[in-house]
């Protein structure tokens, strides 16, 4: 009786032991040295494998950095702190990088923008945008069906009144949402910027007025108001040059449709009352 149980256990166990010993011997015989830097760099990376660096996952990026093929600042998710850590490992000085966050450039929520039809299909912006450019009258507006929300690996996007909003604190700048948005209205903006044009509509001002109360009507008042030559109207929509913009917020004050967002609460005192 006992032998019936012991025999299979012993024979299988014996075989396993034999193979295990063989493999252990082989692993020493065929050992290959890996670059210790690669392993160290891999340790300081965020490890989300988002692919924003252009390499297949964090392992690929670590290998490329260790081989000197990728810049140490390549990981946008980790930002400058990771770049400094990698710099320590590689013995290089990391340059200070400006953190950029994603921003959905549309303010036309349910109350402000009108729909041309009622969409009842799959809850997905890409699917909706294939049906006559989506339910919104404005073909450049956020559809708010959450394709970017689902794509975001960091849970940094939410839908508020039918518009996707990015949480600046959580956003790591991996740019995945920028790639998936079928309307191409998500842009990477320097985190220090306090003024953004919240509209991407290239329609004529007359048309924009019909369907959205906060759309850019390309009146060029902001262009004339800006003392720093930082805002320009091109293709019927105002664009800010973030290198030139000093966050004086005059354009946002002057904008007749209030399509320029500005963080007035944190406005620097020297700019208050400038527009008068």
Partner 1 sequence: MDYAGKLFLILLSTVLVNNFVLSRFLGICPFLGVSKKVSTAMGMGAAVIFVMTLASLFTYIIQYAILEPLNLEYLQTIAFILVIAALVQFVEMVIQKMSPTLYQALGVYLPLITTNCAVLGVAIINIRENYDLLQTLVNGAGAALGFTLALVLMAGIRERLELSDIPEPLKGFPITLITAGLMSVAFLGFQGLIN
| Contact residues: partner 1, CB under 8 A | 7-8, 11-12, 15-16, 19-20, 22-23, 26-27, 30, 32
Q: How far is the CB of 199 from partner 1 (least distance, A)?
A: 34
Task: Report the residue number, 3 or 206, with the smaller CB distance to partner 1.
Answer: 3
Q: How far is the CB of 56 from partner 1 (least distance, A)?
A: 10
Task: Report the residue number, 8 or 256, with the smaller CB distance to partner 1.
Answer: 8
Pick from 165, 190, 167, 180: which is nearest to 107 by CA? 165
Task: Report the residue number, 7 or 131, with the smaller CB distance to partner 1.
Answer: 7
Residues 6+ apart with CB under 8 A from 184: 178, 200
Tokens linked to 42: 């891999």
Classify strands 260-262 and 195-197 as parallel, antiparallel or unpaired.
antiparallel
Contact between 259 and 201 (Cβ < 8 Å):
no
Contact between 137 and 215 (Cβ < 8 Å):
no
Alpha-helix runs per DSSP H in 2-157: 2-29, 36-44, 57-66, 79-90, 125-129, 147-151
Task: Report the residue number, 34 or 235, with the smaller CB distance to partner 1.
Answer: 34
Task: Report the residue number, 22 or 47, with the smaller CB distance to partner 1.
Answer: 22
């Amino acid at each position: 009786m006992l032998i019936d149980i012991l025999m299979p256990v012993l024979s299988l166990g014996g075989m396993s032991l034999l193979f295990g010993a063989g493999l252990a011997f082989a692993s020493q015989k065929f050992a290959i040295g890996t670059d210790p830097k690669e392993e160290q760099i891999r340790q300081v990376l965020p490890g989300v494998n988002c692919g924003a660096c252009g390499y297949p996952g964090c392992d690929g990026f670590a290998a490329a950095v260790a081989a000197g093929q990728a810049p140490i600042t390549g990981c946008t998710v980790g930002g400058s702190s990771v770049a400094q850590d990698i710099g320590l490992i590689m013995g290089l000085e990391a340059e200070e990088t400006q953190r950029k966050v994603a921003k959905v450039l549309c303010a036309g929520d349910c109350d402000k923008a009108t729909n041309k039809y009622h969409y009842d299909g799959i809850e997905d912006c890409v699917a909706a945008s294939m049906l006559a450019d989506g339910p919104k009258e404005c073909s450049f507006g956020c559809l708010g069906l959450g394709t970017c929300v689902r794509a975001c690996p960091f849970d940094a996007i939410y839908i508020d009144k039918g518009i996707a909003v990015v949480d600046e604190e959580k956003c790591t700048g991996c740019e995945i949402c920028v790639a998936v948005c079928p309307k191409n209205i998500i842009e990477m903006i320097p985190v220090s910027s306090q003024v953004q044009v919240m509209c991407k509509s290239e329609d004529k001002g007359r048309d924009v007025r019909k369907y959205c109360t906060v759309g850019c009507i390309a009146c060029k008042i902001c262009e004339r108001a800006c003392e720093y030559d930082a805002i320009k109207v091109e293709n019927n929509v105002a664009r800010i040059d973030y290198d030139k913009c000093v966050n004086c917020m005059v354009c946002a004050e002057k904008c007749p449709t209030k399509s320029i967002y500005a963080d007035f609460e944190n406005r620097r005192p020297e700019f208050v009352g400038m527009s008068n």
